[in-house]
Structure 1
Amino acid sequence: METTSFGDSLNDLLIELEVALQENSGITEIQVYHKDLARIVEAISNDTILSCEVVSSVDENGLIAIRISHPSVREIKISGGVETQNELPDDYYRGYDARYRLVYEHGGERFEMKKPNPEISLLIAAGVLTNDMDVIDLGCGEGRDSLALARRKCKKVCAVDISQAALDKLTEDAQRENLSNLEPVNDDLTTLGKIGDGSFDFAMNMGALHMLVKDRDRQMHLQQVLRILKPGGLFLVKHSREWLKGFRTVVWGKIQQAILKPGDVIPRRIWTGTGEMREIDMPFLPHRVAEPENLVTEVTNAGFTFERNASDTKEGGFGNSYSILFRKPL
């Protein structure tokens, strides 16, 4: 039995709870601080996979113990390999723009978490990522990291994504906060045709490289990153090692297929602006996993040098993932 304390945000609770339950089988006891216990119990009880019961009353600190039970996570595999790569259309990567639009059409406020990836704060604290750097966020999505860096007054933050819908969401937030140092750019990660040579001190790809499935596309992206970085520039990569576990939007208990193929429809969770959680059907998009040692080989073969491991996490944004820092040679 595992005990975890959560903060006041109901959305954060549900996200962290999903991750915890996917990593543990059997019974988990969760200790929850929250102003409205009824909302928590209702949200968990309405989940078609989980069940819960209150096992203690409110103590003097407002601490409630809720016991959550869930079924064991069964193995779900993703079809892959050279054969699958050859079957994919050339524009498969553009399916991510359609995914964002689908979320918004169904009332979702956003598809991603608002809080930035934890590696960002760690690298800032370590003095690796500094405010005098020109930074580019490759595959920025709705801007969870780009916005955080712009708020920290980085000299320049260029936010690149193939999805104009996601960039529109990012732009709304940036304009609302008057973040003049943030520049959204609609571009393809395999070509980066709108980005000049040697333009940036720090590049990051926080969960977009695993969306590039074909060997050719990944190699093209890495060559473009090498091109746009200044000599000695840093490249932070966050990559998934396991698709299912830890992804906060995946309703894993409802996935019927034993092997997922691109185009299969699966249920995903979205959240509205009021915090309401909804389930909608989404096409399964191509996704590639890799172990850290394989990613290091792939990126160093493209011309980078290995700098350091940055993190190994099961946080709810990109699931079971890790981050590695590379450098462009001088």
Structure 2
Amino acid sequence: MTDNASLSRAFFALHHGLPRQGPGSDDTTRRLLSFVGALPERPRVLDLGCGPGRSALLLAAEAGAEVTAVDLHEPFLDELRAAADARGLGGSITPVNADMGELPYADGSFDVVWAESSAYSIGFDTALRSWRRLLAPGGALVLTECEWTAAEPSAAARAFWERHYRLRTGEENVRAATRAGYAVLGAHPQPESDWDEYYGPLAARADAADPGAPGMAEA
């Protein structure tokens, strides 16, 4: 059995330097941003589970946001610092090493809380509950969540997700957000191309990796 440390090292070895660390695209980021509506001239955005900052960089460049970008993996934050400086955005993005489940920010600190492909790490319902307090009046929470899209998922698919992360339908997630006190402004099913943008480079990296390296087979 692989220990957690080896699995973690293998996981990050596969993901370092990739264009994305989860399904998504710049077009999807822009689409999600459009749901938020009018923002202050310099909106305060908290990007949780930012990785090397693909979304943070876009939000700073295109929305004029002051982005606090949070991740627990310092090498990703180093990548973000370098990319922000190279694009002249170093003054707009503050990388922070912190746990998204134990955030050190006061209530009402942000106009937008942003979480692409990261809420699952603490659970969708926990994210809804714990992040709401961070929003300023009129603020918005933007996140992505894996969900059932097939009307009748296969038994094998159900068994896999029951073991690893319990999925719900999009409608069930909208109801959960409403119960948590949110007014849902919109939902955007991610296109298949968002998954290709993530899994294509990841598959190439995995094919080139040493399968005998500790944790690599499981990662």
Is TM (by shorter chain) over 0.5? yes
Q: Would you say the 8 A contact 1:97–1:164 is kept in 2?
A: no
Deviation (angstroms), 1:122: 2.7
Out of 101, 107, 119, the residue aligned to residue 190 of structure 1 is 101
> SS where residue 133 of structure 2 aligns?
helix
CA–CA separation in structure 1 for the residues paired with 2:145 and 2:85: 30
- 1:142-291 alignment, distance < 5 Å: 142-152=52-62, 154-179=64-89, 180-192=91-103, 194-213=104-123, 218-241=124-147, 286-291=164-169
Determine what percentage of the aligned residue pairs are the same residue: 23
Specify the SS of the correspondent of 1:118: helix
Tell me how far 1:129 sits from its aligned partner: 5.9
Deviations 1:241-269 (A, max 9, x none): 259xxxxxxxxxxxxxx96599xxxxxxx
Deviation at 1:123, TM superposition (A): 4.9
Q: Residue 99 of structure 2 aligns to a residue in which SS?
A: coil
Q: Secondary structure at the match of 2:107?
A: coil
In the other structure, the counterpart of 1:303 is 181
More strand by share: 1
Distance in 2 (CA, whole Å) between partners of 1:143 and 1:197 is 24
- Indicate conservation of the 8 Å contact 1:205/1:237, yes or no: yes
Number of residue equivalences: 184
Measure, in 1, the Cα distance between the counterparts of 2:100 and 2:186: 24
Residue 169 of structure 1: how far off its partner (Å)? 1.6
Residues 1:118 and 2:27 are matched in the alignment: yes
Question: Helix, strand or coil: the match of 1:135?
Answer: strand
Q: Aligned partners of 2:112 and 2:42: how far apart in 1?
A: 10
Closer, same or farther in 2 for the Cα pair 1:102/1:287, shift >3 Å? Answer: farther
Distance 2:43 2:54 in 1: 18
Higher RCO by CA contacts (8 Å cutoff, separation 6 or greater): 2
Return the offset for 1:146: 0.4
Return the TM-score normalized by structure 2.
0.67
Give the number of the structure whose alpha-carbon radius of gyration is greater.
1
Unaligned stretches of 5+ residues in structure 1: 1-91, 244-257, 263-284, 320-330
Residue 124 to residue 189, structure 1, CA distance change in 2 (3 Å) = closer
- Are residue 101 (structure 1) and residue 12 (structure 2) matched? yes
CA distance in 1 between partners of 2:187 and 2:102 (Å): 27
Q: Distance in 2 between matches of 1:211 and 1:133?
A: 26
